[in-house]
Structure 1
Amino acid sequence: MSRRTDHTDTSSLENFLRPIVEQFGCDLEAADIAPAGRRRLLRVLVDRDGGISLDDVAEVTRAISKALDREGAADSFIGDGAYTLEVSSPGVDRPLTLPRHWRRNVSRLVAVTLTAGGAVTGRIKSASDEAAELDVDGKVRTVAYADVAKAKVQIEFNRAAGKDDPETPADGTVEEN
């Protein structure tokens, strides 16, 4: 008899994965299991301040895989069938839902839908645990996270190189080693 389930207790899965991910200095952003043909797909999103590299993703992937195999946890969360583990970082289309998401996107352009109605688009100047300061057409506007219904980073194809890095000189030059 298969122990495969149609629904997984996401909080138990995240509680299992969080300490594994945190040992690499990363945050667990999301984890879910979905059917993928005859297999199951375990999708794990990780991130950290300063971004995450492919080498970091590979290390986290190996650690999660070993933990699932070693502790027989794969059967508990995924079932006894075959599964695919996919570890990646969140894309820019992920909503900004936590203060750390805002902090990691300082200097980026965001579109914010407010709970009271209306919307605002501006560049994140700074982010605290309670609110973010946006540059909206040259004026600073503080937006409390409690007032945000939805917020997403806007993709800018025509932004000059180096503009996302607050350490980049004003002339946009970037020194490479």
Structure 2
Amino acid sequence: MSTRPTKDQLAAAQDTTIPDVIAPGLDVLFCGINPGLYSGVLKQHFARPGNRFWPALHAGGFTPRLYKPAEQEQLLDLRLGITNVVARTTARADELTNDELREGGELLAAKVLKYRPEWLAVVGITAYRTAFGFPKARVGPQEHRIDDTHVWVLPNPSGLNAHWTPTGLGEEFGRLRTASRDRRNR
């Protein structure tokens, strides 16, 4: 789809799902809160124009160039993947209930145990706090692990998250990139 989704297409995408970009043994499995309607229409993660995930991924050193959402499957070649805490699409993340987030955390933990990435990077501190029951968690590496998988919490890259500038997002993604390289080189 080369044009913007229509209002009807966006409405039809409510409560749908999009496939994970995942494989066993990834270096980093990025985990969004849940897909937005724009992503639901296109079946691409972080697809809405203005979402800063793809620029932050590049600025952080994970990709050799700025990827587009339509190129998401190419992340697997870089040992990276994408999933979500909650699979269903919504217009806004605040439409999710705390119960959905907690259930999503359980499903995510099972997915991590199955695919065994080196790092799980949850993109959104509030969702992480609720999904995993760590109300005082902060952005950065967590003491919490899922078996052998290390956990890092990144800021939400939504354009609505004005607390984090594009530069700050890139730096935080870069901190994770450095940590993931360091662990891999041990």
Q: TM-score, normalised by structure 2?
A: 0.24
Larger Rg: 1
Greater helix proportion: 2
Higher relative contact order, chain-length normalized (CA < 8 Å, sep 6+): 2
- Give the alignment's TM-score, normalised by structure 1: 0.25
Which structure is higher in strand share? 1
